[in-house]
Structure 1
Amino acid sequence: MVDRKVAVLRADASGLNGVGHVMRSLALGEALLDAAFDVVLASVDLPAGMREEARKCGITVVDLQCLPFGAADATATLSLNGSVLVVDGYKFEREFFSELENRATSFIVIDDNVETKALAPSVVINQNPHATTEMYAQLSGNPKLLLGLQYALLRREVREATKQSINTVAGKVFVAMGGSDFLNLTGPIVLALKDLDIELCVAVGPTNSQRKQIEDVVQSLPRARVIHQADYITELASSSLAILAAGSSLWEAAALGVPSIGLIVADNQIGASVGAEHCGISLSLDVRSGLHKESIVSNVESLLTTSNGALAKMATATRSEVDEFGSMRALQAIGPNS
């Protein structure tokens, strides 16, 4: 019997830092599973909701019993004996990567804005439209640079939904502020839109501590509902417009043909959100210093006015910019079987 090769994903999630690093690592992990790897998610204090997401993907969670992000973390991660190692997160210290590099370990970094402290990764994946080769000129060892939306890491359920015929519901607006919504924007957005003639579908992330408050707000409105997490993708795919925290959700919506309003909730989302607007698939609004309700309402009203034509133009642009093959392209470029 031939032993299956192991791929290790090193990523964390929390209510404060969000779940995006884990979610896109899992997306790449699903592609590795399809390539006959056993896949392990190595994490510290992984929330229960993310643990369940990994389980649904068929990915094993390993709880690291060490101080995160330093040399001890690297040693614990290497002890899992992965033939492929993927690291996604901004908090990994130089000591973590030094340990990998000193052992001549090949590893993949998933990055957004050159936040990584790695100096010699074998591969860098930056799925964002603003990614350029110049951003990584300081790296040594001539790493493979997999840059741009052609490498968008989409979950299997998104990829499968792109192949289905899902009808768009006119006037349906999807609201999702990421896994944690650490700025507590969901409730205020829903209330801001309550007087519009629209159907509101609201997603509450797995680490969102405000679920009860959001449910109370939504239940007070006649044409609003909180969706089940299992229905997230089908509800998104049938929406006319999505209001999203400006992370990987923008690329999921685009692959499904859904235009979006991307809300910048953290500094590291600026490039991605502005880039998405330049691609014509999203409008970018910066809410880091406060939610401008009037701007959200006016943009939703304008886009849903059919005579405007802007929404249809954005919908046409979405699937030309993002398709379902990003994870597979990345895996082929990484070449783990070579």
Structure 2
Amino acid sequence: MSGSTVLFRVDATAAMGMGHLMRCRAIAEAVAEQGGTVVFAMVDPLPAAQAMMDGVPARLLSLPGPAGSQPDLQELLGLMRSLHPCITVVDGYHLDDAYWRRVAEEGPLAALWDAADRQDVCADVIIDASPNASATAYAEISAQALMLLGPRYALIRRDIREAARQVQLPLSQRQQVLVSFGGSDPLNLSMALLPVLRQRLPASVDITVLAGAAYPHHQDLRELADKVVPPVQVVVNPPSVAPLFCRAGLVISAAGGTIGELVALGLPALSVVVAQNQAAASVDGPYPCIDGRVPGAEQRIAAQAAAMWQDLPGRERMVQTLRGVVDGEGAVRVASALLTTHFRERLPS
């Protein structure tokens, strides 16, 4: 298992969410499609992670916790020595600079970041699909790195990538609003927003709430959805989200990696910041954005979503402005770079 093996070091928890894992999955799918071997190393992987690995396909290995500790690091370094990956992709704000530097000493490192706010970690590749990603800023901390920056490298999952190639149903024929606050919905905005949004939207509009595998309130959400009038549909961790997205005339989404997928599909959306790292990435983003962390955010979200729904011409203009911004092939480009680029060789420490 060498030469074309890509090792991913990433975590996903109810508190952290699943965004980091989902974007690594997008790269992993493309690596597998191009003939590479994929291995994930995680601390306390969620049960849903194994099912995700089966779909890549990828091997999932468990690391000792806590994440970022010496036992975690030493186990990862041991994996690098035994697997001889062509590159190790590390993604996670909870892993400090010393951890990243030690991985880079062992072998080629790809850093999946959202902002150039770290010290030099000697990365060979930096991946940041944010529209405001700065090559100049990143060069100050990893001058030698191959820069894969901007929407051209948006990490779009395989099912979304395939759906983006298809002809989509006109917005005028879609009567669904889709709510998706990520894999864990850390602020539990789904519960707060659902009754308010139902009141704001016409009864003829179907509302669907997409709940991720790490969301801890599935049953409570279902019970609430059944009580509102008309009832709301709740979908939990479906095998593919593409059919839900493609039926939506408006999406209310966490301002994370899903935004790139919505742009690739040409969908009108309202983005909502649910984590600190999303705030900077949402500046100059493709969609209107609301900070979901402030008190009463659900009222503002529902009011703006209702106004957007009533403005079909405005939503259609929004779709027109999105054309060509994200073509859906970013993960394919990243995977190709990881598998074909000649990285400087390192001697084991």
Deviations 1:96-126 (A, max 9, x none): 12322334x2110000023555521001000
Cα contact 1:90–1:115 (8 A) shared by 2: no
Q: Distance in 2 between matches of 1:312 and 1:177?
A: 23
**Contact 2:118–2:141 (CA<8 Å) still a contact in 1?**
no
State whether residues 106 and 121 of structure 1, in contact with CA within 8 Å, keep that contact through their aligned partners in structure 2: yes
Q: What is the rounded CA distance, in whole Å, between the counterparts of 2:325 and 2:148 in structure 1?
A: 16
The whole-number CA distance in structure 2 between the counterparts of 1:31 and 1:201 is: 29
Counterpart residue identity of residue 205, structure 1: G
**Greater shift in the superposed pair: 238-247 or 75-84:** 75-84
Q: After superposing the two structures, state which structure 1 stretch, 238-247 or 283-292, moved more.
A: 283-292
Matched with 1:226 is 234
Task: After TM superposition, list the pairs within 5 Å mapping 1:147-296 onto structure 2.
Answer: 147-167=149-169, 168=171, 169-195=173-199, 196-197=201-202, 198-221=205-228, 222-228=230-236, 229-276=238-285, 281-296=286-301
Contact 1:75 1:99 in 2 (8 A): no
What is the CA deviation profile of residues 283-334 of structure 1, one whole-angstrom value per residue up to 9, with x for unaligned ones? Answer: 1001212242332222122212246x22111111223211111112223334
- Say whether 1:322 aligns with 2:319: no
Is residue 31–residue 336 contact of structure 2 (8 Å, CA) maintained in 1? no
* CA distances 1:10-67 after superposition (whole Å, capped 9, x unpaired): 0000000111111101110111111211101100001111222222221111011354
Counterpart AA for 1:45: D
Aligned match of 1:139: 141
Once residues 170 and 35 of structure 1 are traced to their aligned partners in structure 2, the CA distance between those partners, rounded to angstroms, is 36
**1:73 Cα offset (Å):** 2.9
CA distance in 2, matches of 1:253, 1:26: 17
Q: Which has the higher contact order (CA 8 A, sep 6+)?
A: 2
Distance 2:142 2:272 in 1: 35
**Helix, strand or coil: the match of 2:323?**
helix
Alpha carbons of structure 1 residues 129 and 337: separation in structure 2 relative to 1, 3 Å: closer
Q: For 1:81-96, what aligned pairs fall within 5 Å after superposition?
A: 81=83, 82-96=85-99
Question: Once the two structures are superposed, what CA deviation does each residue of 1:63-97 show, in whole Å capped at 9, x if it has no partner?
Answer: 11354224543332232222221000011123312
Runs of 4+ residues over 4 Å off in structure 1: 115-118
Q: 1:337 to 1:33 in 2, by over 3 A?
A: farther
Amino acid at match of 2:28: G
Note the residue ranges of structure 1 that are not aligned, 5 or more in a row: none
C-alpha distance in structure 2 between counterparts of 1:214 and 1:192, whole Å: 14
**315-324 or 30-39, which deviates more:** 315-324
Distance 1:190 1:21 in 2: 26
The one-letter code matched in structure 1 to 2:78 is S
Q: Count matched residues.
A: 331
| Structure 2 equivalent of residue 313 of structure 1 | 317
| Mapped pair 1:44 → 2:46 | no
Hey, what does 2:21 align to over in structure 1? 22
**In the alignment, what sits opposite 1:112?**
114
In the aligned structure 1, how far is the partner of 2:4 from the partner of 2:20?
23
Partner of 1:77: 76
Paired letter, 1:69: G
Tell me the distance in 1 between the aligned counterparts of 2:225 and 2:309.
Answer: 21
- Mean CA deviation greater in 187-196 or 22-31: 187-196
Residue 303 of structure 1 corresponds to 308
Name the SS of the counterpart of 1:321 in structure 2.
coil
Letter in 2 for 1:218: A
| Contact 2:27-2:331 within 8 A present in 1 as well | yes
Gaps of 5+ in 2: 343-349
TM-score (ref. length: structure 1)? 0.91
Q: Is the 8 A contact 2:19 2:183 kept in 1?
A: yes
Distance in 1 separating the partners of 2:182 and 2:262: 13
Tell me how large the CA RMSD over aligned residues is.
2.0
SS in 2 for 1:320: coil
Deviation at 1:139, TM superposition (A): 1.9
